[in-house]
Structure formats: C-alpha cells, structure tokens
Chain A
Amino acid sequence: MSKFEEIAEAVISGEVEKVGELAQDLVDEGVKPSEIIKEGLVAGMDVVGARFKANEMFVPEVLISAKSMHAGMDVVKPLLAEGESSSAGTVVIGTVEGDLHDIGKNLVAMMLEGAGFEVVDLGVDLSAEEFVDAVKEHNPEVLGLSALLTTTMPAMQNTIEALEEAGVRDQVKIMVGGAPVTEDFANEIGAYAYASDGSASTELAREFVGA
C-alpha cells in the first residue's frame, strides 16, 4: 500500500491519531502538503462520502472519519505555501429566525467539513441581518439556510430578500434545506438550490465552487 493509500485508509476507518502520525511521516519524507491533502486526506473522505451515500456507513462513523481528516489537516495546513488553500471553499450555515431545530443543519455542517469545506456554523434562530452580517464578514462561496417548521419557512425568503437589499445576494450561492422544504419552494423564494440531505448538500457545494 502506498503512503497515500495508507493515510486514506486510516481516514476511512476513523483512526484519528494514526492519520496525524501518517501525515507527519509524509511531511518528514518531504511530500508536498497539497498532495497529502488531495491524494490522502480528501481521497479518504471521498470514499467515506460515497459509502455513506450508499447507506454502507453509520453517521457516527462518518463523523469520526471527518475528525481523522482534520487531525491530518492540523499537521499539514501550517505548511501550505502561500496562495495554496487547504479548504474546498467556505460555507456559512444556520437555521432561520424562529427555528431552534438544528440536528439536520448540524449533520449538513459536519458532512461539509468532512468534504474539506471551511464551515462557519452560526447556530440557530438567526435573523436575516445576522445572515447578512456573516456573509459580509466571511465572504463565503455558499450560504446554507435550514428550517424544520412550515411556520419558519417564510423566514428563508425574508433572509434572501435582506441579502438582496444589502447587495450581497449575488456573492453567494444560497442553498436551502429542512424536512418541509422542497425544490419548488427553493425556486419560488429565489434560492440557488435545494439540498435534501448532507450528501446532496456536499455535492451541491462542490459544484458551486467547481471543485
């Protein structure tokens, strides 16, 4: 097994410490940090993502794999050359005003992190202004809005309108999700896309950033 395969395997099986050690070994051998990320860490998470989508892995296993990948990232990241990025892109995410239900949003955030995105999780019950401020501050490629209640779905539209008014609407690709949210609703309120679950949102986010 090549060193890259070995570290990818360790990511897949969720061996947090081992991934850190293997990453350090590769660094010591003089392998380029960006290659360790691409051929080892992200390659491992790609397999995890595919297996999860095929219902072959449990959610907690996916989370521990993501944690393993991050253990590798912690070693490699500081060594990246200037201009090289370890992140696939930045996603700002949160549940809209009035909605405290966040388990779906948390799952999506964890899946995105696992796929190498920088995720700014704003939390729950966020006003349109808070989303606008976060978009201005973090300048993300993707903004994720979540709602579980039919009564809070209108807040998604309000948020999109507020982004429009603030003039930052076109800076981000907005994706929406949550149990009662549909593709039709996403289109109606002018969201860029609808994601049905963590895997779908990861694929969409990758499309958005062209990764």
Chain B
Amino acid sequence: MINRKFLAQDILSDEDLNKIHEATMNLLEKTGIEVLHEEAREVFAENGARVEDTRVYLSRDIVEEFLEKAPSSFTLHARNPENNVTIGENNSVVVPGYGAPFVTDIDSGRRDSSFEDYVNFTKLASNSENIDIVGGVLVEPNDVSDELRHAKMLYTGAKYSDKCLMGSALGKKKARDCFKMASMLFGEDEIIDDKALVITLINTTSPLKYDYRMLDSLMEHAKYNQAVVVAALIMAGSTGPMTLAGTLTLQNAEVLAGVILTQMVNPGAPVVYGTASTVMDMKTANLAVGSPQYAKIIGSIAQLARYYDIPSRAGGSITDSLIADAQAGYESMLTFMSSVNHGINFILHSAGLLENYMTMSYEKFIIDDEILSMVTDYQAGIEVNEETIAKEVIENVGHGGHYLADPHTMSHMRDFRDPILSTREAYTSEENLVPAVKRANDKWKNILNDFEAPELDSEIEEKLLNYMEEL
C-alpha cells in the first residue's frame, strides 16, 4: 500500500466535472441502464427507480441519496492483520495483473496459462514487498474445471500468501464459496459479514448494460458486506464515444448505476468506482492501454471518484507491447505513475501484463515490481528537518571538501532504496551488457526456488480442502 504524499495536477477542472456529472444525471434518468437480472431490477424498483422492461432509470434524487451512503474508504482484511489495507484516503493499494488467459517467459514463449502458472505468480506476488492483494484471476488457470476454478484460486492465494484476497465475479454461488473459504481463514465456519475479506471485480457490458452473472455476484457481495470494484472497459470509438469526455460520461453512468445498486442492497457496503476504459486504435481495432489517453482517463477517474467521495480504481503497469521490451517499460511506467500520482486508490494490473490484458509475463512481473518500488519511494517525498538539512555538516565540510567520510553520510547512506533489478554498473566489458529482461528472468527463477510460504494453520487448511472436495 503506497501512502501518497502528494497529488499531480488535476486533469479536469471543477467546471469539467460538473458538466460530466450533469450529462450523466440526464442519461441515467432519460436513457437508463439495461439490467439483465430480475432480482436486481426489483431492488431498483423497490428503492424508487423507474423500471420498464429490462431498463432501469435513475432520477437525480435517487442517485444522490444512494451515493451518499457509499463509504469513502474501507478496510480490507487479510488473514495476517499486518497485511490489512485501507482502500481510500491517501492510499494506493497495489494489485497484480488480472484475467490473462496467456502467460509467457523468455525461455518457453507464449502459451495458455495453467494452474502451475497461477501458483507461480501467486508466489511472486506473495514475495513482492509492493503488492498488497493476491487471489482472483491472477492468471486464468485454464486447466482447472470451471466449477472448481474460483475455489482453487482462493485456496492458492490463501496457502502461499497471507495478504488480502480477491473473490469471484461469476454469479452468486461462486461468490459465496469465496466468502465461506475466506471466513475459514479467520477461524469462522459461517460467513463473516461485518468486515470485508475479499474484493471482487464487477464489470459492466458497455454500452449501458450489466449482465446476469456480474449482477448476481455484485448483489451477493453487497449483501455480505464484501467489497466490489464496479468498472467499465469502454473502448472509445467502438463501445463508447470517440472523445475522452464522452467516454468518461458514458462510463460514469454505467459505474454509478452499479455503485447505487450495492447501496440499495446494503447501505454502507464497500464499493470502489472503477475503470479500465481507454481508446481503441481506430486502424487496428485493438485496445490501446499504454497510451497517454489512458493516462488522462486514469487521472480523470480519480477526480470523478473524489467528486462522489468513493474510492477509485484504474491504471496499473500496462502496455500494448507484445514483449517485455522498452515499449513495455515506458508505457507501464506512464500508466502506473499516473495512477499513483493522480490518487487512484486500488491499482489493479500493477504487475506482469503484456499485450494489454492478454498475457502475463514472468519477466515483466519482475520489471513492474521495480517500477512499483521506485514509484513508492518517489511518493514518500523528502523528509525535511534539522538533521536532514544538515546545515552544520555543510559548514564543517566547507569549500571544496567532500562528504564521503562524514559521519552524517555514514548514518544516512542506507536511507535510499536499492534497485531490485536496475543496473548501475559502469561498462567494463561486453559482459556488463545484460538486458533487464534477462536479469528479470534470473530473478523470478531465484524467487520461485527460494520461496517459502507463510504458515497456514493445518486445521484451517484441512477445512479449506474439505470444502473444495464437496464442490
């Protein structure tokens, strides 16, 4: 969890925010949202929304009333309380890549991701000092059956890590399985519903639609006080307007409808305002995530979420590059740094991804971990006091001397972080010329070799395994 000392300059003015808000209110009231879940429509109707057929219309009063109920921050609990995180305030909670159906490394190349990869990336995430949350679809374990996948992912996250966990968005039953298993980690047989143990990604179907499974899961989470991130992935130009202001407006209408539903189900339920919306490259029809347009959307989303006083999600260390090359590096730094500097509270996709969201790379994971660590250090700001200003030291060393042997240097030379991947060697021979991706390759292998899982109570593990047996 990065505690941010400062924010970047705002992207939208107050007037811009008001204009987007006003257009959104109008869309929610007049155009409405397609809600493909009967029970969800009933909840909307019971709380005063106009429902016609499968369409839900929200008046300004309803929007304001229920947005007011959403918490501005909340705590997500880990089985090791030292790893709890607060989602909101001046924090950026850091979460690795999510949902990739492929993995790659420079030895074996791109392939379908498997359960083995899932375990490996869980270990890498567990080992990282910068990552706060594991579980969820860290990579898609394609070789595990659909009925078991959510449970095995949660179990793996819990076994190899004592950090916070993500849950399942695929309907009510799977969501509840995850709550059950997460509660077992806290020694409870019944679902714990007075604090958030999992956080789950709920997506809209743009434009202006929610599908059944996502709504089913969203309502179940709200009911049990478990956290959801409601997010849209609009591709400006195809599933949304070509302009960024238009995409922000459409995305605002979609996400607010989901946020409001959580509060209608259970006032005060933890919810995050999210986006993965970006532009489509209009010549290839592909998503463009490593773009300055996305960096601007990230900043705008942080502002919109603050406007409604709820935590935000956007960004990550993401790129359109197909391999872990210079493009992957500069795009990922742009998107991650924008996410933190603009004040995004929950940064999904922070490590590992290539090819927008399609492929998790072992080497890129390590490269991104370096980015996370660098930005964390940068956001810590500069400590300014008598000791650090060092006026006397400057006087003592005087003109033309040096500071190398000064006691002040000795006592502060370990203040700064050491790079975990970057080189600062000088050139002596060709042997120094090892690219970052090769060093990252050595590094992830070492981490996996040396990995030791945090202890998990054997009785609890037994219970989790038994629970999975019965699924």
User: In the bound complex, do residue A60 and residue B205 qualify as a contact, i.e. CB atoms below 8 Å apart?
Assistant: no
In the complex, which residue of chain B has the Cβ closest to the Cβ of A179? B358
Specify which chain A residues have a CB less than 8 angstroms from the CB of B285 in the assembled complex. 59, 104, 107, 197-198
Is B268 part of the binding interface, using a Cβ–Cβ cutoff of 8 Å?
Answer: no
The residues in A between 59 and 80 inclusive whose CB is less than 8 angstroms from any CB of B are 59-60
Contact string against B for A residues 172-194, beta-carbon threshold 8 Å, 1 for contact and 0 otherwise: 00000001101011000000000
Contact string against B for A residues 143-175, beta-carbon threshold 8 Å, 1 for contact and 0 otherwise: 000000011001000000000000000000000
User: In the bound complex, do residue A55 and residue B142 qualify as a contact, i.e. CB atoms below 8 Å apart?
Assistant: no
With A103-B235, A182-B112 as given contacts, are A151 and B170 in contact (CB-CB < 8 Å)? Answer: yes
* Interface residues contributed by chain B, number (CB under 8 Å): 20
Is A100 part of the binding interface, using a Cβ–Cβ cutoff of 8 Å?
Answer: yes
Is B283 part of the binding interface, using a Cβ–Cβ cutoff of 8 Å?
Answer: yes
* Interchain CB contact (< 8 A) of B140 among A52, A100, A150: A150
With A58-B282, A182-B112, A198-B285 as given contacts, are A100 and B209 in contact (CB-CB < 8 Å)? Answer: yes
In the complex, which residue of chain B has the Cβ closest to the Cβ of A56? B283
Specify which chain A residues have a CB less than 8 angstroms from the CB of B238 in the assembled complex. 59, 103, 107
Is B239 part of the binding interface, using a Cβ–Cβ cutoff of 8 Å?
Answer: yes
The answer for the CA separation of A104 and B140 in the assembled complex, in Å, is 21
User: In the bound complex, do residue A100 and residue B358 qualify as a contact, i.e. CB atoms below 8 Å apart?
Assistant: no
Specify which chain A residues have a CB less than 8 angstroms from the CB of B358 in the assembled complex. 179-180
Specify which chain A residues have a CB less than 8 angstroms from the CB of B470 in the assembled complex. none
User: In the bound complex, do residue A100 and residue B211 qualify as a contact, i.e. CB atoms below 8 Å apart?
Assistant: yes
The answer for the CA separation of A198 and B280 in the assembled complex, in Å, is 15
Is A206 part of the binding interface, using a Cβ–Cβ cutoff of 8 Å?
Answer: no
User: In the bound complex, do residue A103 and residue B239 qualify as a contact, i.e. CB atoms below 8 Å apart?
Assistant: yes
User: In the bound complex, do residue B146 and residue A151 qualify as a contact, i.e. CB atoms below 8 Å apart?
Assistant: yes
In the complex, which residue of chain B has the Cβ closest to the Cβ of A107? B285
User: In the bound complex, do residue A150 and residue B284 qualify as a contact, i.e. CB atoms below 8 Å apart?
Assistant: no
User: In the bound complex, do residue A150 and residue B239 qualify as a contact, i.e. CB atoms below 8 Å apart?
Assistant: no
B170 nearest CB across to chain A (Å): 7
Contact string against A for B residues 201-244, beta-carbon threshold 8 Å, 1 for contact and 0 otherwise: 00001000101000000000000000000000001011100000
A109 nearest CB across to chain B (Å): 13
A35 nearest CB across to chain B (Å): 32
In the complex, which residue of chain B has the Cβ closest to the Cβ of A111? B285
With A100-B209, A154-B146 as given contacts, are A59 and B283 in contact (CB-CB < 8 Å)? Answer: yes
The answer for the CA separation of A178 and B80 in the assembled complex, in Å, is 40
User: In the bound complex, do residue A59 and residue B282 qualify as a contact, i.e. CB atoms below 8 Å apart?
Assistant: yes
Is A18 part of the binding interface, using a Cβ–Cβ cutoff of 8 Å?
Answer: no
A120 nearest CB across to chain B (Å): 22
Is B101 part of the binding interface, using a Cβ–Cβ cutoff of 8 Å?
Answer: yes
Specify which chain A residues have a CB less than 8 angstroms from the CB of B205 in the assembled complex. 100-101
Interchain Cβ contacts under 8 Å between A and B, 24 examples: A56-B283, A58-B283, A59-B238, A59-B282, A60-B237, A100-B205, A100-B209, A101-B205, A103-B238, A103-B239, A104-B285, A107-B238, A150-B101, A150-B140, A150-B142, A154-B146, A179-B101, A179-B358, A180-B101, A180-B140, A182-B112, A185-B112, A197-B284, A198-B285
User: Which residues of B are at the interface with A, using a C-beta cutoff of 8 A?
Assistant: 101-102, 112, 140, 142, 146, 170, 205, 209, 211, 235, 237-239, 280, 282-285, 358
The 5 closest A-B pairs by CB, nearest first: A180-B101, A58-B282, A55-B283, A150-B101, A150-B140
**Further 19 A-B residue pairs, CB within 8 A, beyond A59-B283, A179-B358:** A55-B284, A58-B282, A59-B238, A59-B280, A59-B285, A60-B237, A60-B282, A100-B211, A103-B235, A103-B238, A104-B285, A150-B142, A179-B101, A180-B101, A180-B102, A180-B358, A184-B112, A197-B284, A198-B285
